[in-house]
Amino acid sequence: MNQDQLIQQLKAVSDANRLKLLAALKNGECCVCDFVPLLQISQPAVSQQLKKLKDASIIQERKEGAWRYYRLVDSLSPVIQAVLDELEPITIPSSCSK
């Protein structure tokens, strides 16, 4: 990993809402709509936060019909893994209807 990638990843995890998203993703894949009640912000605002994590190669996206699901990438950098190891997992109920 080069220095620019490391800087992008560190910036991505330097936000309280994005840390909550990562804590929830420790339990597995989630639909974007599941994060709205957790963060208490609009779905477009949640999507913006998820995009920053995706652009930093910390999470990945999967589309299923109209829904978008997110999960942690399989191989995280040691720095980001250390951050995740410090987060307590957050359990969120699924709120989307498939």
Q: Domains in the chain, start-ordered, CATH in brackets?
A: 3-86 (1.10.10.10)
Confidence of residue 1 (pLDDT cuts 50, 70, 90): confident
pLDDT higher than 70, residue 96: no
The two structure tokens encoding residue 36? 């709205």
- The per-residue pLDDT for range 8-58, each reduced to its tens digit, is 999 999 999 999 999 999 999 999 999 999 999 999 999 999 999 999 999
Three-state DSSP state, 80: helix
d(CA 46, CA 33) in angstroms, rounded, equals 8
